[in-house]
Chains A and B, each alone.
Chain A
Amino acid sequence: MCKSTLVALGFLLIVPVLGQKTPPHPAVPHFEDMAAQAGLSVAHISSPEKRYIVESMSGGVGLIDCDNDGKLDILTVNGSTVDRYRENGGDLMITLYHQDARLKFTDITKQAGLTRKGWGMGIAVADYDNDGLPDIYVTGYGGNALYRNLGNCKFEDVTEKAGVAGGAFSTGAAWADYDRDGYVDLFVSRYVHVDMSKLPAPGSDAKFCRYRGLLVQCGPWGMAGESDLLFHNRGDGTFEEVSKKAGVDDPDHYYGLGAVWGDYDNDGWPDLYVANDAGPNFLYHNRRDGTFEEEGLVQGIAVGVDGMQQGSMGVDWGDYDHDGRLDMIVTNFVNQSDTLYRNLGRQGFVDVTGTSHIAKTTYPYVGWGTAFFDMDNSGWLDIFVANGHVYPQVDSLPGEAHYRQPMLLFRNRRDGTFEEVSAAAGLTAMPLASRRGAAFGDISNDGCLDIVVLNVGEPPSLLLNHCQNGNHRVLFKLVGTQSNRLGIGARVTVNSGKLVQFSEVRSGGSYLSQNDLRLHFGLGAEAKMSVVTIAWPSGKTDTLHDIPADFIYTILEGKGIRDKSRISPLVDSEVPK
């Protein structure tokens, strides 16, 4: 049976799920910020006034298991200030926290050799040399960094050797094997042109450096944008910049931010979505010959419902309605709702922001890090959004959304709509902050997806998800053999009971952040999965039958399950006090 027929059948099977009688919603899980107790203490560096745009955009966070010990370690971008950058070339670009024991972290940045200075913006993790060790790419202003993992969380700076320094004001980064040659390639989005010796003074322009009458940082309007970059992995530890040849260089120089790969048309080839601030977003369709065609407008996913450009920041793909197709969430600037695009297949995407009920809540905030994630293991993807204004000066405006803003959590109501449950989840009670990147993963290995959030000028938040509600769940760690080693781009489809759900291994996404590379599925009341299918980037497919839930499985391409460990709930004594 040809693939298209299978896809069509899948569609027919999946469609009735939306709106059918489903089990009641479990209680909204409670999130608790454990950052301080867990040892995440390094404050992000940022000037209080944010006089220049470069001081407002950092940055991302990431999850990596840098020593393959089965526990996620945490990366946070450090940021910098204009003064520090001018005087000392900036700061260490990232901080690496090693998870020594469950939820006990130690800052090992310097021991790990992550010592390049600069102005960190974003993080993406991949095993670019297929040695089985996850490597780190850091974007930044003035130059990026590639850290090759030498094992045991020791890294070597191979930026120049690999040829991926990039330069200018790099923001988003996302790895994927777009030509399916077994090696992951790297896309880097870039923002505005900033010349450190000619910075426009805050308020210096009556149009572009003011906000509601306040004198604020200039840009991005009025500033020249930068092109984007695509580094093709030669397979020998070096890369070739091919953005123009591939058609993803952004000749119009829009202001690029979040980037994420995903196979939106189910053809087995990774496509690329790029969020542009104050411009139309890009959807690059993979033409399977090393080139891409920009189809954002054609597919109806580039701009708002009226064709108006939005100030887009963070992005994620996810099949929130179980129709077998990837939908898209995009976070946007204040007074523009975050946008939810539903994938209709051949008919492109439709903006369902209003009808899904996320418009009103997200409208007053500046949205950044985001994801579709199953917060309660119900089998349905919920949405999280980290918010925070770019201008601290807005605090002086009465009645305005403030610089520090709340996080938002939306529960999937399984009928195409979402319900805001931030308060029930405990998020509303947390201190406000101006937040940026957010990374999602099971940091405590208890089967609940936790969240790390970057707080501008402050230490990060570690939102521990207390989701124990009896629902079953599973995590898959993929190891490619013919495909890239971390299985980036692989799609896992899980059949459990009446639900069919799928996810893809992705590097990058959210806002300049890196999620857990393991794939998590909530299974609701189903204690086993009837069928699990792994479609690898190599084109191979592995199919597993009758797999018990509540394990973390390691699956080797072509070999099936290589390892498994039972998911164990956190006990009180393991929760740091």
Chain B
Amino acid sequence: MSSGPSRWIRRPEQLDILLLADTTTLAKRRQLGDLLLGDLLRSRILSFCLIVLIVTCLAPGTTFAQTPNTWQTRAGYGAPETTPTAEQLFITGETALRNGDLNRAEQNFWRVLAIDPHSAGAYANLGVVYMRRKQWDQALRMLGKADRLAPAVVGIRLNIGLVYYRQNDFRSAIAPFESVLRDAPNSTQARYLLGLCYFFNERWTEAVEILLPLWGEQSLNMNYLYVLGIAAHKAARTEVDERALSRLAEIGQDTPEFHLLMGKAHLNNTEDDKALAEFALAAKGDPKLPFLHFNMGLAYLDKQDYEQAAQEFRQDIAVEPDVAFSYDKLGTVDALEEKDAEAEINFHQALRLDPHLVTSQLGLAKIYQKRGQNSEALSALDQVEKISPDNYTVHYLRGQVLQRMGQRQRAKAEFNTYTRMMNAARERRGRELSGDIPSPELTKEPE
């Protein structure tokens, strides 16, 4: 994967991938800057990986290319001459997939499966079709079947990881990526993605360990350097931190992209004024730099300067009208300013662009709750729960709505669920102290 400032500008085809991120993690953490940077990273990495995977999965001579021979032998017997063979169907499906004709591709791969229900290649490519359509559950089902039929094919597991990754389920993505890396230690993609998953899960030390070997090929990639630098900083790997940041400064020079990154770094540390200063420098170089105004909006939001924040989000929308996050955040600002009607419009728009945006669904739920539109509120909360089953605040808000509806028993049950899930989350944090992170000092008396 090439890198450097010129790669920074988001290409149009990356947009749909960018929109995959939801705010489940955002709500949990105040590291929006990290995640959004991650979005940029993902947009680049995923585009690359997807192309590689499709090629990997479908190119003749690769693992899956061997499968049609099997179909030929199985489907060939007794088949009328006018009936296409499994191989023909597969090739037609492959071509359709390459051409972006997903319906035709899907149809053909299903027909392959009708002839040969054990075709790992057909399942794998159906997984790709559903991934493209963002039908994640179906994609996982297909890829799971493919994996069971062809457990040695690392590309399938990589795709399974990607399905989780694209849904921002970085925790679930870790296992498949780890597995790929075990079998294919030289896989740059798997390594990079795994590193990012560790990063998003705040497993800083592991993130550094996994990402550092990519230095040779990625040390001109500003995003890589930024992530590595942040992870190293959090993991107290000072030498790596300094090395990454020095290189970042060296290659970034005075480019708008560099200033945007530096601004994000400050934003992560809630150094809002410093972040804004960097963003101003970025704006000077490129006022239409993608995500610049979005991040400025975040900084102002952090400073609780709602008016300015809203203005920045609007500016971002003017530059990039299809970014769900901007509408989501604009809706959040509206809600904070009690402009519920405007907030509702923006949340709806955000959800049109990305139905998985938890914050927008939650925002709508709160507006409905406030207005006493209890059934609408409950319905929005149901959506949130579907998208983000680990989100315990859903149960708190649902409990509140039910309480107001006079359904005390149901409300109580929701509050109990909230407490149980919250305590479990607290315990997980507690275990991390005594378990995952070795801390011999804890049992030792201090010097």
Contacts and interface: CB of A to CB of B under 8 A. Distances in A.
Contact of A200 (B234, B336, B430, B439): B439
A306 B362 contact: yes
B27 interface: yes
Interface in A45-90: 51
Nearest to B429: A221
B392 A279 contact: no
B291 interface: no
A303 interface: yes
A428 interface: no
Given A307-B397, A335-B30, A399 B274 contact: yes
Contacts of B419: 252, 280, 297
A363 B397 CA distance: 23
B357 to A, nearest CB: 15
A86 to B, nearest CB: 10
Given A300-B400, A399-B274, A306 B27 contact: yes
Interface string A420-431: 000000000000
B411 interface: yes
A430 to B, nearest CB: 24
Given A205-B442, A300-B400, A354-B336, A400 B30 contact: no
Given A199-B445, A206-B205, A303 B396 contact: yes
Contact of A399 (B271, B411, B443): B271
B432 A207 contact: yes
Interface string B404-447: 10001001100100110011001001101110010101111110
Given A307-B397, A360-B304, A298 B403 contact: yes
A297 B432 CA distance: 27
A206 B30 contact: no
Contacts of A204: 439, 441-442
Contacts of B396: 297, 303, 307
A201 interface: yes
Contacts of A470: none
Interface string B290-328: 000000000000011000000000000000000000000
A530 interface: no
B338 A206 contact: no
Nearest to B408: A298
A105 B269 CA distance: 45
B442 A198 contact: yes
A279 B426 CA distance: 9
B183 interface: no
A207 B396 CA distance: 27
Nearest to B275: A399
A548 interface: no
Question: In this complex, which of B233, B266, B426 has the most chain A Cβ atoms within 10 angstroms of its Cβ?
Answer: B426
A213 to B, nearest CB: 6
Contacts of B439: 200, 204-205
Contacts of B415: 297-298
A387 B213 CA distance: 45
Contact of B443 (A51, A198, A212, A363): A198
Nearest to A355: B338
B233 A213 contact: yes
A297 B441 contact: no
A307 B393 contact: yes
Contacts of B272: 399
A5 interface: no
A306 B392 CA distance: 10
A348 B415 CA distance: 14
Contacts of A309: 422
B347 to A, nearest CB: 14
Question: What's the dominant secondary structure at chain B's contact region?
Answer: helix
B3 interface: no
Interface string A183-199: 00000000000000111
A207 B266 CA distance: 20
B38 interface: no
Interface in A376-402: 397-400
A360 B393 CA distance: 23
A208 interface: yes
A363 B272 CA distance: 13
B239 interface: no
Contacts of A397: 269
Nearest to B204: A206
B236 interface: yes
B209 interface: no
B56 to A, nearest CB: 37
Given A204-B439, A205-B439, A335-B30, A197 B393 contact: no
Nearest to B425: A309
Contacts of A399: 266, 271-274
Contacts of B437: 205-207
Interface string A320-364: 000000000000000100000000000110000011000110010
B446 A201 contact: yes
Contacts of B404: 347
Interface residues of B, number: 53
A222 interface: yes
Contact of A363 (B236, B304, B422): B304
A308 interface: yes
Interface string A207-228: 1101011000010011110000
B429 A359 contact: no
B291 to A, nearest CB: 22
B235 interface: yes
A296 to B, nearest CB: 9
Contacts of B393: 306-308
B393 to A, nearest CB: 3
Contacts of A213: 233-234, 236, 269
A306 B443 CA distance: 37
B433 A205 contact: yes
B336 A208 contact: no
B368 to A, nearest CB: 15
Contacts of B274: 398-399
B101 to A, nearest CB: 43
A204 B392 CA distance: 30
B67 interface: no
A298 B270 contact: no
Contacts of B366: 305
Nearest to B436: A207
Given A206-B204, A348-B403, A222 B433 contact: yes
Interface string B383-411: 00000000011011101100110001001
Contacts of A199: 445-446
Contacts of A197: 445
A359 B336 CA distance: 11
Interface string A398-438: 11100000000000000000000000000000000000000
A297 B418 contact: yes
Nearest to A205: B439
A75 B304 CA distance: 38
B231 to A, nearest CB: 11
A301 to B, nearest CB: 11
Contacts of A306: 27, 362, 393, 397
Nearest to B396: A307
Nearest to B400: A300
Nearest to A305: B366
Interface in A253-306: 279-280, 297-298, 300, 303, 305-306
Given A198-B442, A213-B236, A297-B396, 5 more contacts: A205-B437, A206-B204, A297-B419, A307-B395, A399-B273
Interface of B: 27, 30, 202, 204-205, 233-236, 266, 269-274, 303-304, 336, 338, 362, 366, 392-393, 395-397, 399-400, 403-404, 408, 411-412, 415, 418-419, 422-423, 426, 429-430, 432-434, 437, 439, 441-446
12 contacts: A204-B439, A205-B441, A207-B429, A207-B432, A213-B233, A221-B430, A252-B419, A279-B426, A298-B415, A307-B397, A354-B338, A360-B304
Give the 9 A-B CB pairs with smallest separation, nearest first.
Answer: A307-B396, A307-B393, A204-B441, A222-B433, A360-B304, A399-B271, A201-B441, A297-B415, A201-B446
